[in-house]
């Protein structure tokens, strides 16, 4: 790709900077340069900074606001010949080849903050194309595609026991997803397959559920239980029956399936592990319509990861809540290790890459938008977590579960780095990966607005001439600005 020069500004939380214009305004149409609909109904501080760019420079904008709110960022471009020359107003860290270094897995103790580089004599690093991990999770280290962890030599084949009618009966509280929410149905299920570690029950017995049940037992016992345990942790035998329990049943109504962006193919409840009661246990609820192909492996790995996470968070009868966005990011991360081309994530990834500035990494559990929590934001969380874990050993997820505090605190404890640094590094990996991400153009002497969701990213095209970019945003946005400079910034193959 040639030598890359990436100039990384330090975290620019505009409220902490000392230069530029700061305006504290009431949100009225006559005073606000940002569209009125985007402003909260309280006094808002609008802050403007001027960034001097050279020809070929590009800008990456991110919001460190963790509320998943939408923010308007106003940008105004002035070519160099339109005003006197001025100095760049941002603290700047110059790192040659930083885009390559963030892609290379390194030992945990060697991780260092971008802010610690030597400004006067930066190290020169050569740039290499990404190999082990790419920003779209297409090839995780140790995935089934690489053949590193899926060997089944010397493993005995499971013994299946097909139960006769009336044998192996158990009652379950099976969740049903509807357009109005989730409710439980107390159903009787019959055991239809059994291995050494897994039992499968079905609420509706037919030939297709029998073949699916046998495939579920075989794949879990052949490698998935061991795979997830080695990366996340073991699943607790909550109901003390000596088996992992799978329940095949219908999980959503027709109306829910028609309105949801993704069908419900599997489900695990934290309460089944933390407070099992009469109907709980180490249980995975699985749709009877799951195809028996690579997608089955992905779905089983996803739900088994949830069970392992819940088991790890339970200690002496106390359950420590993990925010839903990180819980799902961990499950999707493991799922994609098992099947990098999982259809369970394909639509989310495609939508996220079309509009990355709309979909946040962090979605609070109390957020009212179910589509935001279940939709492309899960792709953002998966890609971000892949970036965080790409330097760490396989058992890092288990270390994450063993940490303390909230999601951000756990990630910072695990890596020894700030969330701001991890967030910026993820954005750089997205650029290095060369994904066809949307980018905005800086041209002419005109002002324009961008919409940016908290913990989402947006990129510009390289500027065509020297000039100054004025960036105006509210303090709530906690905007992070990164300046990138290279004659082949976007991986141009012409050189």
pLDDT of residue 161: 53
pLDDT greater than 50 at residue 331: yes
DSSP 191: E
Q: How far apart are CA 446 and CA 72, in angstroms?
A: 16
53 class by beta-carbon count within 10 Å (0-12 exposed, 13-18 middle, 19+ buried)? buried
pLDDT greater than 60 at residue 160: no
Q: How far apart are CA 314 and CA 295, in angstroms?
A: 29
Handedness of CA 295, 297, 299, 302 (dihedral sign): negative
Sole residue written with tokens 């590193």: 148
Do you know the residue count of the chain?
Answer: 495
475 class by beta-carbon count within 10 Å (0-12 exposed, 13-18 middle, 19+ buried)? middle
pLDDT of residue 137: 28
pLDDT greater than 50 at residue 400: yes
Q: What is the pLDDT of residues 186-228, one digit of tens each?
A: 999 999 999 999 999 999 877 678 899 999 999 999 999 999 9
User: Per-residue confidence at 432, pLDDT binned at 50, 70, 90?
Assistant: confident
pLDDT greater than 90 at residue 98: no
Residue of 484, 438, 385, 491 whose CA lies nearest to 135: 385
Query: What Cα–Cα distance (Å) separates residue 168 from each residue in 36, 123, 163, 191, 218?
Result: 62, 66, 7, 5, 19
Mean pLDDT rounded to a whole number for the chain: 75
Query: What Cα–Cα distance (Å) separates residue 197 from each residue in 155, 160, 219, 263?
Result: 13, 11, 11, 28
DSSP 380: H
User: Per-residue confidence at 317, pLDDT binned at 50, 70, 90?
Assistant: low
Sole residue written with tokens 């489900």: 267
pLDDT greater than 90 at residue 321: no
Q: How far apart are CA 252 and CA 254, in angstroms?
A: 7
What is the arrangement of strands in the sheet containing 467-474, beginning at the earlier edge strand? Answer: 21-25, 44-53, 467-474, 70-79, 447-453
As separate numbers, helices (DSSP H) first and strands (DSSP E) second, the chain gives 13, 19
Handedness of CA 275, 278, 281, 285 (dihedral sign): negative
How do the domains of the chain map onto residue ranges? 5-117+441-485, 158-323
Residue of 175, 189, 245, 249 whose CA lies nearest to 217: 245
Q: How far apart are CA 334 and CA 231, in angstroms?
A: 8
């Amino acid at each position: 790709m040639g030598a890359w020069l990436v100039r990384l500004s330090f975290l620019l939380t505009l409220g902490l900077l000392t230069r530029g214009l700061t305006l504290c305004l009431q949100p009225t149409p006559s005073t606000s340069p940002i569209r009125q609909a985007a402003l909260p109904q309280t006094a808002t501080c609008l802050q403007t900074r001027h960034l001097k760019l050279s020809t070929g420079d590009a800008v990456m904008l991110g919001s460190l606001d963790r509320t998943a709110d939408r923010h308007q960022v106003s940008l105004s471009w002035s070519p160099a010949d339109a005003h006197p020359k001025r100095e760049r107003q941002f603290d700047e860290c110059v790192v040659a080849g930083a885009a390559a270094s963030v892609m290379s897995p390194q030992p945990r103790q060697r991780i260092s903050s971008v802010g610690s580089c030597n400004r006067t004599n930066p190290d020169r690093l050569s740039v290499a194309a990404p190999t082990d991990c790419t920003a779209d999770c297409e090839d995780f280290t140790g995935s089934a595609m690489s053949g590193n962890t899926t060997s089944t030599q010397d493993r005995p084949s499971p013994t299946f026991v097909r139960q006769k009618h009336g044998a192996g009966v158990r009652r379950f509280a099976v969740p049903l997803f509807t357009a109005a929410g989730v409710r439980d149905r107390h159903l009787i299920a019959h055991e239809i397959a059994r291995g050494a570690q897994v039992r499968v029950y079905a609420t509706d017995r037919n030939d297709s559920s029998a073949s699916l049940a046998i495939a579920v037992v075989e794949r879990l016992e052949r490698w998935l239980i061991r795979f997830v345990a080695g990366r996340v942790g073991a699943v607790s035998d909550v109901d003390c029956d000596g088996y992992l329990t799978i329940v095949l049943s219908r999980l959503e109504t027709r109306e829910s399936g028609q309105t949801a962006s993704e069908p419900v193919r599997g489900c695990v409840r934290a309460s089944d592990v933390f407070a099992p009661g009469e109907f709980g246990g180490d249980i995975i609820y699985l749709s009877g319509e799951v195809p028996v192909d690579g997608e089955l492996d992905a779905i089983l790995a996803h739900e088994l990861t949830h069970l392992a996470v819940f088991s790890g968070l339970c200690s002496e009868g106390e359950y420590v809540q993990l925010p839903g966005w990180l819980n799902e990011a961990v499950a999707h991360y493991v799922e994609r290790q098992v099947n990098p081309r999982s259809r369970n994530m394909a639509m989310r990834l495609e939508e996220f890459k079309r509009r990355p500035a709309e979909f946040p990494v962090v979605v609070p559990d109390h957020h009212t938008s179910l589509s935001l929590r279940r939709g492309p934001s899960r792709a953002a969380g998966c890609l971000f977590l892949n970036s965080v874990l790409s330097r760490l050993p396989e058992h890092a997820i288990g270390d994450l579960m063993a940490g303390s505090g909230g999601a951000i605190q756990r990630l910072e404890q695990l890596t020894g780095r700030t969330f701001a640094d991890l967030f910026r590094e993820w954005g750089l990996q997205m650029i290095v990966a060369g994904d066809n991400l949307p980018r905005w153009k800086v041209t002419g002497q005109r002002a324009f607005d961008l919409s940016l969701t908290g913990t989402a990213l947006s990129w510009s095209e390289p500027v065509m001439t020297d000039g100054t970019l004025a960036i105006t945003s509210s303090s709530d946005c906690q905007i992070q600005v990164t300046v990138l400079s290279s004659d082949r910034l976007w991986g141009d193959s012409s050189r």
